Structure 1
């Protein structure tokens, strides 16, 4: 990128788990992080929306740290840039804000450092940073992803189109993933592990065959994390009751929470949305959609 160019990077947010697909299933959603990058004398990150108003503005920014570390692995030093950051992904609410930042950083390093990474290589790097492939996979590929992050390899299956409406109920409080993980059991018995994985397997099969009623049942049947996290997100059970009464087929914590995501067949989401707005006036209720396009990179002349 030369001094007369601007780099634009757009990355969707995501929801993870969908109930029993713990740390392995992700779905891209219609909320985006955007970076507008120009050459500068020193690294600077300039927030442009309320969601990112408190981000570090220098080299302690997560995006810089990930991009710089990745570039250094290839023996490359990135040229300093001014990065204008816009995001409509609520911070620490379970909608993939940190995963989107990691994917944006990888795209930034790849472009500025001319690393020539394939999508599969970007996926591996992102999963190593995040520790699992669900959110980062959805942000990178768009649509639905089902992945496994193993010691030597990251495997991913990508389904671009899942025809559902999404309604998010976003509480006012934040919930860090680290805190949300502390309430989970350290181990499962073999019997519990078989039950949990069977429920997850059926969820995937039901998603791929558009058996929405069965999808909803498997979301409710999760034994990996939602029964333990429910005490941290008191809205979950109430949202489940209201949403299902008004046409949703499924309800699940979005990632570690506290956002609760409701799923409806295409065309039925508005009814669910309206009912949740009435029932949860103190939450941010949003009508969303599945984002079918993953991270995108554009180069353009300044001033255009």
Structure 2
């Protein structure tokens, strides 16, 4: 069997972190690995049953991303075979689609010698994804705070957040489109002001390392959690118990259906075990922020 030309590793992500709706993302220490080998036609081979239902030809999201990036630069990417392994739960609020897009961008950049800068990759990824939070974190690592609208992208990158993370994953997946369909088209001005203030306080607290304040603000979201919380059995009981055992805060991970718990660095294993015992409906992942984004291994 021919040896791969190169292998790419991309981290999972959680987005929003509460009131940072469509603008704040964090890379997490679950990974997708893609090995790239020359071939006569495009093909994608997934390891494991969870990803078996995904398309494996030229209509695959990773392949489509490679081709779309190539088209942007007036180039054509030669076919390759992609072998994918991943420990990121599919469709459960941990950025699996953004991870695929980030992988496709790095593959195109490498195969075509584009030498794209990080902000260029992030701009392309945001345009392809339709929002900037997950894909920017997947590409850059750490925490990213972004402003993305009408083609304008601004990024603040916090590369080494000093926290631990626990993600509670339920057995049922939920599509992003379905989850977004639960959101209102409008919010009263006063609610939007409160949400904006909570987001500003949260991101500033993250930047200065005040995770107790960041955790409190994480729970003051008005943009999406009030409309999605009905999807989560025992959510208020989980939040109360998280406070009881010393977590900084808990919020919905991305569009759901996972829950993200910010905890003191080094306590993530202990907190995950306690939560799994108390709420066995959920599987618990003890994680850390991933300092590196998508990269060639």
TM-score by length of 2: 0.96
Instruction: Note if contact 2:70-2:77 (Cα within 8 Å) is conserved in structure 1.
Output: yes
Q: Give me the whole-angstrom Cα distance separating, in 1, the residues matched to 2:111 and 2:248.
A: 44
Aligned CA distance change for structure 1 residues 245 and 9 (closer, same or farther; 3 Å): same
Instruction: Note if contact 2:273-2:284 (Cα within 8 Å) is conserved in structure 1.
Output: no
Deviation readout 1:221-246 (Å, 9 max, x if unpaired): 11111011111223422321222211
Aligned to 2:157: 158
Structure 2 stretches of 5 or more lacking a match? none
Shift of 1:269: 2.3
After TM superposition, the structure 1 = structure 2 runs for residues 175-254 of structure 1, keeping only pairs within 5 Å, are 175-254=174-253
What RMSD in Å do the two structures reach over aligned CA positions? 1.4
Shift of 1:206: 1.5
Aligned to 1:302: none
- Is residue 47 of structure 1 aligned with residue 46 of structure 2? yes
Aligned to 1:79: 78
Q: Give me the whole-angstrom Cα distance separating, in 2, the residues matched to 1:4 and 1:220.
A: 48
Shift of 1:86: 0.7
Aligned to 1:301: none
SS in 2 for 1:104: helix
Shift of 1:4: 6.4
SS in 2 for 1:221: coil
Aligned to 1:263: 262
Moved more, 86-95 or 107-116: 107-116
SS in 2 for 1:23: coil
Number of residue equivalences: 296
After TM superposition, the structure 1 = structure 2 runs for residues 2-151 of structure 1, keeping only pairs within 5 Å, are 6-151=5-150
Instruction: Note if contact 2:13-2:28 (Cα within 8 Å) is conserved in structure 1.
Output: yes
Shift of 1:50: 3.3
Aligned to 2:272: 273
After TM superposition, the structure 1 = structure 2 runs for residues 277-296 of structure 1, keeping only pairs within 5 Å, are 277-296=276-295
SS in 1 for 2:293: coil
SS in 2 for 1:51: coil
